[in-house]
Amino acid sequence: DSGVTQTPKHLITATGQRVTLRCSPRSGDLSVYWYQQSLDQGLQFLIQYYNGEERAKGNILERFSAQQFPDLHSELNLSSLELGDSALYFCASSVDGGGYEQYFGPGTRLTVT
Amino acid sequence: KNQVEQSPQSLIILEGKNCTLQCNYTVSPFSNLRWYKQDTGRGPVSLTIMTFSENTKSNGRYTATLDADTKQSSLHITASQLSDSASYICVVADSWGKLQFGAGTQVVVTP
């Protein structure tokens, strides 16, 4: 158990809908990272937050947004969902912004039908 | 073009045998290289992290090597066990902390 929690575990929704994925980092970790892993694809970095502020952006679509709250938990919002958004979404956390040691959560499996 | 290339894409080995996975990268300026193990449907778990000055690092039956001159790394699994069946991902960080992920090597250990 990495200490990073993600909810929900599974999510099934229809195209065009909007969903919110939640992540709680390990106690003491200030950075949160979001990744997308499509079927048989590698991990794609989406976005990083550090202590409430956006730190780095990867291949995140404009339909996706994220934020980190004062209690350091983070939410990833996915809107106007398309079939291609079906994937595993992982959250990771690290103690600082450099991300030297990242701990991954169990992931949220999103299925768009 | 992906800056981190892993080979082979997949491999099948008999329980108890050894195997070696390869990772070549072009990421620059280099900061560190990580190997992660990812079981199907689960989050990656860090095996080793190596910086420029480290040539080899072990974690139990896993041994990683790094040649920063040739920009190559390998992960050696000794005396494989059924629980080693997983995807092994090579990740390289640049000096600004940006991570580049390899596509992974899928390892299947058979009895």
pLDDT band per the 50, 70, 90 thresholds, residue B69: very high
To which H or E segment does residue A48 belong? strand A44-50
CA–CA distances in Å: residue B11 to residues A65, A97, A99, B7, B61:
37, 35, 30, 9, 18
Of B41, B43, B102, the CB nearest to A104: B43
Decide if B49 and A100 are in contact by the 8 Å CB cutoff. yes
Question: Left if phi > 0, otherwise alpha if psi is -120 to 50, otherwise beta: which for A99?
Answer: left
Q: For residues A1 and A106, give the distance between their C-alpha atoms in angstroms, rounded to a whole number.
A: 9
Q: Which of A56, A102, A105 sits opposite B98 (nearest CB)?
A: A56
**Average model confidence (pLDDT) for chain B?**
94
Q: What is the pLDDT of residue A97?
A: 75
Query: In terms of CA atoms, which chain A residue is nearest residue B89?
Result: A42
Mean pLDDT of all residues in B7-16: 97
Q: What is the per-residue pLDDT across A99-112, written as a single tens digit (0 to 9) for each?
A: 678 999 999 999 99
Which residues lie closer than 8 Å to B54 by C-beta, 6 or more apart? B66
Per residue in A50-87, pLDDT (tens digit) is 999 999 898 899 999 999 999 999 999 999 999 999 99
Is the pLDDT reported for residue B20 higher than 70?
yes
Q: Which two tokens stand for residue A12?
A: 């099934």
For residues A49 and A56, give the distance between their C-alpha atoms in angstroms, rounded to a whole number: 7
pLDDT digits (tens, 9 = 90+) for A21-43: 999 999 999 999 999 998 767 88
For residue A109, the distance in angstroms to the closest alpha carbon of chain B comes to: 8
pLDDT in the model for residue B96:
78
Give the nearest partner residue to A104 out of B44, B93, B102, using CB atoms. Answer: B44
Instruction: Calculate how close chain B gets to A60, using CA atoms only, in Å.
Output: 15
Residues of A in contact with B49 (CB under 8 A): 100-101
What whole-number distance in Å separates Cα of residue A17 and Cα of residue A19? 7
